[in-house]
Every structure is written in C-alpha cells, then in structure tokens.
C-alpha cells in the first residue's frame, strides 16, 4: 500500500507540471471547485496559510503595522481615477453589473487590489502631519480573471495580504518600501527556507502606477523563477490623483507619499516547487501544520499507546504534534506523512520503551537517529532545525548550479540548451527594446535588477552598448 501511494506521484524529472498537480491533490492541499480557475483550500492547505499569516502578521506589527479591512467592491469611477493603474488591471477585472435583478447605475469592480479604496479612505482621514504616517495592512482575497490557472500559482481568486502606507516625506516612504521587502526576504529565507534574490523591477515590469517596484525572486527546482513578494514605491502620484492632502509643519498644503506591498498563497506553490520530492511535500518546520508525527510501532502491545500518548502530551507544549493511532501499518503511515511533508517522524515501539529511547526520522533526507526520552524536546528541536537548514542548503545549491553568467545572447542560448532553465545574469543597457529582444531571442525575461550587482562585462548582452546594470533573467511562473 505504501509503495502504491508513492508510485502514484509522477516523477518530477518525467513531468514537473504533473508532479506538482499530483502533490497538491494527493497531499490534500486543494480541491477544484465548480468555478473554473478557483480552488478550494482544504484544511491541510489552509493550515499552512494560517501559519504563514500568523508569522508575517507578527512581523508586520513589529514594524508598526495596523490591520484594517476594505470593501471588496470598487466603483468604476473610483478605479478610473488613476489612469496607469486601471490600464494595468483592466484585462483581469471582474465586474458586478446587477444587484439582484436590478441593473446597477454604476458597475462595481471586484477588487483586483485595493489601492483606490485606501486612497479614498486616506483622503477622508488625513488632514494634518500629525495624522501621519499611516501604516495599514489587510488580509483578504482578490479576484483577477486569469486565462490560464494553476493551483496556488495563478488562480482567479486568491488569498493575500496588501499593505498600504502613507508618509510625509519621500525618504520615509522609500525606507518603508525597502523595509517591507526585507521583511519578506528574511521570512522566505529563515522560515520558508527559500533563498531569494532581492532587486528592483525594470521600468516596463513595475506595478501599474508605481514609481518603483522592488521584488524577491526565487528559483524553483525545475529552474523557473517565481516572484515571491513585491514592495512598491508610489511616490505622490496616487495622492495627487485622489486629492490626498494634509497641512504640513509649516502650515502648507502638501501631498503625502505612498507605498504598497504584498504576498499571496503563491508562497505555498513556491514551497512545493522548491522543497518537494518524488515522495511528496517537504514542509519547512515553521509553517508545517504538523511538525512532528508520532507513529506507534506494534501498537497492539501493552504500554505502547500509553507511552505514545505521554510523548504527545509532552511535545505538544512546544511543538505542533500529532499521534496517529489508527489501525494501519506503520509503513502505510510513513508513506502518508512523507506525502504530507511532515518534517520529523517519531517512532516508538516496545524495544524503544525498554531502552528509554525513540527513533526520530527527518523527512528531507530520511536520516534516522536514536534519542533518549529524557532529552526528547531538545532532540526534536535540533532535528527540526536540521530540516530547515538542510532544505535551505539544498535549494541554494540548486540555485547556484542553475545560475549562468553570460556576456552574449549566444552564451545565454547555449547555457540554457546545455543545462536547462535557470537564472541568467547578464548586463543591460537600460533600453526596453533590448529587454524585449533578449526575451524574444532566448526565451528568458527580465526578473529584476539585483541589489547585489556584478559586472559580468561592460557592454549590454543584446546591443553591445555600454551597460548600466546587471539584470537577472529567467523563464517565470
């Protein structure tokens, strides 16, 4: 039964897309709904999101963020106030035209994002420099009518958080934009064990209406890039469009400066594609719904279940723990929890009880260690950290192995043809025409201009003119 369960997952080397679909279904993360492009988050998948939300919410509040909630509907006239913004979202907007059987006097947009609603609110509540800064965040769902969908990565409705802030000075707003990007990056690397590249989007790829968009880019196991989170500096463009003004310290009327930042359930897709293997999920301990599962061996024998329950109660004080005492073989249970990516498995049987020990098995490498029950909590904590460190190092090694430094378009083509998809580091002159041509001729698009710059050469990879910056290029989800 255990072998059949594992064999049911398509090998990632055979068909990565099907492997991904197999995992989201067989690990019981999602189910498909009757509305095309919308997914049902099952309890296990939603529990991962709850843990992500709890950690990030704590981090946001530590830097002064307050949570609010905005309506899900936006009047068309309000959406149209910022020209670049509405043009950027127009193809993906879903519209409400009727209330019951009556046509509405004005169409309502189902929020694809909430900049316009926040701006309307800010214009109403900000009057003086004493009202600033405003550092708000909301946890909600948004709707974007995507043509091609995939669970977690791209769906028509998805869960996310969106931060919106208002500041008296340009410098303070830029500082907040960078601060929130670093919050996301640290969370990905420390809690999700996903190494990321921090950088700024090229002008053609920035958020509609923003002056600058910062992002973190991660590389998946198959060599494709995933934009993991973004942080936008709006300048005072939205404030002028929505007539947000305040009286400054010199008693003069001024426009404030804005930022916006967000991440989504797409992170769960990133976890799957970064850490998963052919046996299923591999979850980072920080967000795993169950951090340690206890499997009693020969549980029909006297004292085994009692000891297993005693260990569960001990560990539950420090960890998210589950005892599986169902009438199934240990091997069947091992396969199930490997599929679900539980970081650590604890095995306890009659011989272990006699020896005052148990077996701890780490999911990512199946390493087994025997540990004394006297120091169990410390041993479990050490094993969980070993999982976090191990999967981060594996992901980092994959990224380094798949990062190519290229000076010409031919070098890009050769690197991709010989080694497969990955990050390409190459120089750029700053012209959008060259950016487009690189994608047309090689298949990789610009992902960001990394903050950590390298000088691969002194000329643009495309036109040969003097280079202005190194760009990270890749095929992206």
Residue 391, in any domain of the structure: no
CB neighbour class for 55 (10 Å; exposed up to 12, middle 13-18, buried from 19): middle
Is 320 a member of any domain? Answer: yes
* 287 part of a folded domain: no
> For the chain, what is the domain count?
3
Assess whether 211 and 300 both reside in one domain.
no
What letter does residue 11 receive in the DSSP assignment?
A: P
Instruction: Please identify, among 355, 385, 415, the residue that sits at the C-terminal boundary of a domain.
Output: 385
pLDDT at 4: 47
Q: Please tell me whether residue 319 adopts helix, strand or coil conformation.
A: coil
* Domain boundary, last residue among 250, 275, 300: 275
Q: Output the tens digit of pLDDT for each of the chain's 477 residues.
A: 344 444 579 999 999 999 999 999 999 999 999 999 999 999 999 999 999 999 999 999 999 999 999 999 999 999 888 777 677 778 889 999 999 999 999 999 999 999 999 999 999 999 999 999 999 999 999 999 998 999 999 999 999 999 999 999 999 999 999 999 999 999 999 999 999 999 999 999 999 889 999 999 999 999 999 999 999 999 999 999 999 999 999 999 999 999 999 999 999 999 999 999 999 999 999 999 999 999 999 999 999 999 999 999 999 999 999 999 999 999 999 999 999 999 999 999 999 999 999 999 999 999 999 999 999 999 999 999 999 999 999 999 999 999 999 999 999 999 999 999 999 999 999 999 999 999 999 999 999 999 999 999 999 999 999 999 999 999 999
Residue 419 near residue 402 (C-beta atoms within 8 A): yes
- Tell me: do 21 and 153 sit in the same domain: yes
409 and 338 both lie in a single domain: no
| 334 to 202, 324, 340, 363, 388: CA distances (angstroms) | 47, 10, 10, 10, 20
Q: Give the helix/strand (H/E) hosting 261.
A: strand 257-264
326 within a domain of the structure (yes/no): yes
Q: Is the dihedral of CA 329, 330, 335, 339 positive or negative?
A: positive
Domain boundary among 246, 275, 304: 275
Rounded CA-CA distance 470/202 in Å is 11
Is 131 in the same domain as 234?
yes
Cα(444)–Cα(436) distance, integer angstroms: 10
Sequential DSSP letters for 302-313: TTHHHHHHHHHH
298 inside domain: yes
Of 140, 126, 120, 114, the C-alpha closest to 53 is: 140
Q: Which stretches of 22-156 are assigned E, i.e. beta strand?
A: 30-32, 39-41, 66-67, 73-75, 94-99, 102-110, 134-143
In whole angstroms, give the CA distance from residue 341 to residue 350: 26
Alpha helices by DSSP H, listed for 149-236, are 170-190
| Same domain flag for 371 and 454 | no
Same domain, 264 and 309: no
Are residues 158 and 304 both part of a single domain?
no
Hey, what are 41's tokens? 């988050």
Q: Give the domain range for residue 123.
A: 2-275
State whether 358 and 425 are in the same domain.
no
In a domain, residue 135? The reply is yes
Report pLDDT for 7.
53
Q: Would residue 284 count as lying in a domain? A: no
296 and 247 inside one domain: no
Judgement on whether residues 269 and 320 belong to the same structural domain of the protein: no
- Please, what is the end-to-end C-alpha distance for the chain in angstroms? 34
Query: Quick one: pLDDT at residue 5?
Result: 47
Distance CA 358, CA 32 (A): 40
What is d(CA 340, CA 43) in angstroms, rounded to the nearest whole number?
12
Same domain, 184 and 141: yes
What's the half-sphere exposure (Cβ side, CA atoms, 13 Å) at 228? 32
- The maximal CA–CA distance of the chain, rounded, in angstroms, is 81
- Confidence (pLDDT) at 19: 97
Write the CB contacts of 249 (distance below 8 Å, at least 6 apart in sequence). 129
Q: Write the DSSP string, 434-474.
A: HHHHHHHHHSPEEEEEESS---S-SB-TTT-SBP-EEEEEE
> Could you tell me the pTM of the whole model?
0.95
């Amino acid at each position: 039964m255990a072998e059949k369960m594992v064999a049911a997952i398509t090998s990632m080397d055979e068909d990565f897309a099907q492997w991904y679909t197999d995992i989201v279904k067989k690990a019981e993360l999602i189910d498909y709904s009757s509305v095309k492009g919308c997914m049902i988050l099952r309890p296990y998948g939603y529990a991962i999101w709850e843990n992500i939300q709890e950690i990030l919410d704590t981090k946001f509040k530590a830097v002064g963020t307050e949570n609010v909630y905005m309506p899900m509907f936006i009047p068309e006239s309000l959406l149209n106030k910022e020209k670049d913004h509405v043009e950027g979202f127009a193809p993906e907007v879903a519209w409400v035209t009727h209330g019951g059987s009556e046509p509405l006097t004005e169409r309502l947009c189902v929020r694809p994002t909430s900049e316009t609603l926040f701006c309307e609110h800010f214009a109403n509540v900000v009057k003086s420099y004493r009202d600033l800064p405003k550092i708000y965040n909301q946890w909600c769902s948004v709707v974007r009518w995507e043509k091609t969908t995939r669970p977690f990565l791209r769906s028509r409705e998805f869960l996310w958080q969106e931060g919106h802030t208002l500041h008296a000075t340009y410098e303070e707003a830029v500082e907040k934009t960078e601060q929130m990007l670093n919050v996301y990056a640290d969370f990905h690397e420390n809690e999700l064990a996903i190494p990321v590249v921090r950088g700024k989007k090229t002008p053609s790829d920035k958020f509609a209406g923003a002056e600058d968009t910062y992002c973190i880019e991660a590389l998946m196991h198959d060599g494709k890039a995933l934009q993991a989170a973004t942080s936008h500096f709006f300048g005072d463009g939205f404030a002028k469009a929505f007539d947000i003004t305040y009286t400054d310290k010199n008693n003069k009327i001024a426009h404030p400066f804005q930022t916006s930042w967000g991440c989504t359930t797409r992170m769960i897709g990133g976890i799957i594609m970064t850490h998963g293997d052919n046996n299923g999920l591999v979850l980072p301990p920080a967000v795993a719904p169950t951090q340690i599962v206890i499997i009693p061996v020969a549980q029909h024998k006297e004292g085994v279940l009692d000891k297993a329950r005693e260990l569960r109660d001990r560990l539950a004080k420090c960890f998210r723990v589950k005892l599986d005492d169902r009438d199934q073989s240990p091997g069947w249970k091992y396969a199930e929890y490997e599929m679900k990516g539980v970081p650590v498995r604890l095995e306890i049987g009659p011989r272990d009880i006699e020896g005052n020990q148990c077996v701890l098995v780490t999911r990512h490498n199946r390493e087994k260690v025997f540990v004394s029950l006297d120091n169990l909590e410390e041993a479990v904590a050490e094993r969980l950290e070993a999982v976090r460190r191990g999967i981060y190092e594996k992901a980092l090694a994959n990224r380094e192995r798949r990062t190519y430094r290229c000076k010409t378009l031919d070098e890009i083509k050769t690197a991709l043809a010989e080694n497969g998809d990955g990050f390409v580091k190459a120089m750029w002159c700053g012209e959008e025409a060259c950016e487009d041509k690189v994608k047309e001729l090689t298949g990789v698009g610009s992902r960001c201009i990394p903050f950590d710059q390298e000088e691969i050469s002194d000329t643009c990879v495309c036109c040969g003119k003097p280079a202005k910056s190194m760009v990270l290029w890749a095929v992206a989800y």
